[in-house]
Every structure is written in structure tokens, then in C-alpha cells.
Structure 1
């Protein structure tokens, strides 16, 4: 049983992708919204265990200087087995930009630090629901 990484959305069941998002747990995304976000991205990465979708991730990039990675998530039973590192490194290699920012779920910062990501001191964000984002630990209250 080997996990295959694919960099196109062919064969993705977006209901399954939304379920991965919830089980990871990264919250709730409507399948159609998730499909639109991924298909409009510069880069997508899906991990398949045979015919089973087990992990997803996507990124935006200008292709020269800057990239940002979003929604790198996987089913809990596939976590802590090296798949996240494998996906992250594959995404970074394909982005091939000197600067990359990513969104981390609060509590996962150490994972990204092992891949040379550092906390930013000047990043700013504008959220649809700032109070909710503060409660979730993404921004200061």
C-alpha cells in the first residue's frame, strides 16, 4: 500500500475532500467552495491510497518570488507517518519560489518549523469573521 501524490484534480470527489477537511480537523468547507478554491489555485496536491483520497493541499504563486500554501490536511489516520512532510516538500519543489508563506492551524507550528518556516512578525490579515478567527487562535483578540 503506497501513497501516490497527484498534482491535478482529476477524479477528486469534492464531498470526500470536504470530509477530509472536517476530519483533519480544519473546519467545514462546502464541497463546491472547496472545488472552486482548488481548481483556481496555481498548484494542487492530492494524496491517494489506492482509490481513496487521503490528503489535500493547494497553493497560489506568482511563479517568480512569492507563494502561499493553503489547506494542507489529511485524514487523522494518515497523520504522523511522513505524508505531510512528503506533500509539503513536493509542493515547495513545484512552487520553486524563494519566498513562501503558509497558513498553519494553531498548534501545528512545530511541524512547519521543521521545514524551515518561521513565525512572521509583520503579517496582517483581514477576516470575514474576526471574532471567530480570534477564538480559533489565528489572530490576536
Structure 2
């Protein structure tokens, strides 16, 4: 993989939703269908896709109100491209476009916190969430037992 063949795309134009679905499956980011991914990315203020030639190898998105709060979501890189700096490039791209927001929030997969600390993210003491499947969230290490 040559770095020169990697490029970022910040629009939904010409995106293959089935290819994005396959990326999510490979990266272990859940089971959103291609149609669900089209909905969530379409409703996200900022998107970033990484392409190796014409092949989709990474994706990330951010929700934002434009000033106060933003949320980084679904940062995914194909296993074959993990460790190449691609995730870093996508996060940097989103953070640059989110510059000026008062707070940018994310929740990291357990064990991935050190990656986000490199960008200045800090562990919150009061963050809480409602999960559609709370037992699964607990099993995956996102929440603590009651």
C-alpha cells in the first residue's frame, strides 16, 4: 500500500453503500445495513471517507449543531489498512472542520482510548448514555454494571 494512492473524500458523492456496509462488517463496527448507513451518513453534518485508489478503506462522520457540541461517530478502517495512519488522518480532518466547537464528544471502543487521547480527548466523569441494547453495551465494555 503506497501512501500516494490514499485520498480522503468529504462528500457522499458516488459512494457505494454496499461497500461501506462491508467495511463496517470487516472493521467490527456493527450491523448497520447499507440503507441504514445511507441514512446516518446522510444526516451527519461532516463525513470523511478514505479511498485506496477506488476502494473504500475507511470512513468516519460527525454530528454537529455548528457551534456548541459535536459528536465523532463510526470511525472505521479496514483491518488491512489499520496501523497506517489512516484513522488519524480521518480524525484530524473531522477535528479541523469541527474547530471552534465548545465540546467534541465521542465514545471509544474499549481499548481504543489511547488513540483518542493523542488528539487531546479526555475521559469524562459524568458521561451517560441510553443504549437500545443495554446488556450488549455492558458485555462489550461500554457501560458498567448497575
The normalised TM-score by structure 1 is 0.96
1:76-126 CA-partner distances (Å, limit 9, x unpaired): 111111111111011000112231001211111110011111111100100
How far off its partner does 1:11 sit?
Answer: 1.3
Residue of structure 2 in register with 1:70 after alignment: 73
Indicate whether 1:19 and 2:22 are aligned: yes
What corresponds to 2:116 in structure 1?
A: 112
Do structure 1's residue 128 and structure 2's residue 132 form an aligned pair?
A: yes
Whole-angstrom CA distance in 2 between matches of 1:84 and 1:129 = 27
CA–CA separation in structure 1 for the residues paired with 2:8 and 2:53: 11
Q: TM-score, normalised by structure 2?
A: 0.93
Give me the whole-angstrom Cα distance separating, in 2, the residues matched to 1:21 and 1:83.
15
Flag structure 2 segments of 5+ consecutive residues without an equivalent.
none
Q: Tell me the CA shift for residue 10 of structure 1.
A: 0.9
2: CA distance, partners of 1:2 / 1:118: 33
Matched, 1:99 2:103: yes
Tell me how far apart the structure 2 counterparts of residues 46 and 15 of structure 1 sit (CA, whole Å).
14
Runs (4+) off by over 4 Å: none
Structure 1 unpaired stretches of 5+: none
Q: Which residue of 1 aligns with 2:51?
A: 48
Distance, in Å, in 1 between the alignment partners of 2:144 and 2:6 is: 38
Mapped to 1, the partners of 2:112 and 2:25 lie a distance apart of 16
Count of aligned pairs between the two proteins: 141
Whether the aligned pair in 2 keeps the contact of 1:18 and 1:34 (CA below 8 Å) is yes
How far 1:2 moved relative to its partner? 2.2
Instruction: Give the whole-Å Cα distance in 1 for the aligned partners of 2:107 and 2:16.
Output: 24
Instruction: Give the Cα–Cα distance (whole angstroms) in 1 for the partners of residues 73 and 107 of structure 2.
Output: 6
